[in-house]
Amino acid sequence: KAGVTQTPRYLIKTRGQQVTLSCSPISGHRSVSWYQQTPGQGLQFLFEYFSETQRNKGNFPGRFSGRQFSNSRSEMNVSTLELGDSALYLCASRLGSGANVLTFGAGSRLTVL
């Protein structure tokens, strides 16, 4: 079965712009999480959605937001981009909660100039 699909894979933006990233989870998975990976900070949790509701949120400014649709697909949006937002954004899905295994997508690499 298809894995977690993230689009776009690569994108370049300039400071002040906004960006929307998309994630399609594995079929049947209702939970989608987003993580940011940078060389300096490593992998950090952004937020998790389950059945269209944000269930958990990491320590990121309000410029980072997300949503989940009824088909479990999720989008995350970053407004007023800063140079420090350059990162690999990873999406992961799982069946529900608790001890389920997370399956990650290939990521969207954002470069802010």
Partner 1 sequence: KQEVTQIPAALSVPEGENLVLNCSFTDSAIYNLQWFRQDPGKGLTSLLLIQSSQREQTSGRLNASLDKSSGRSTLYIAASQPGDSATYLCAVLQTGANNLFFGTGTRLTVIP
Interface residues with partner 1 (CB under 8 A)? 4, 6, 31, 33, 35, 42-45, 48, 50, 55-56, 58, 88, 90, 92, 97-99, 101-107, 109
Cβ-contact 102, 94 below 8 angstroms: yes
Pick between residue 45 and residue 65 the one whose CB is nearest to partner 1: 45
Residue 73 C-beta: closest distance to partner 1, Å:
17
Pick between residue 21 and residue 90 the one whose CB is nearest to partner 1: 90
Token pair recorded at residue 3: 């894995």
User: Residue 105: what are its φ and ψ, rounded to 5°?
Assistant: -85, 180
Residue 1 C-beta: closest distance to partner 1, Å:
15
The residue type found at 76 is M
Cα–Cα separations (whole angstroms), residue 36 to 55, 61, 85, 86? 17, 13, 9, 9
Residue 52 C-beta: closest distance to partner 1, Å:
15
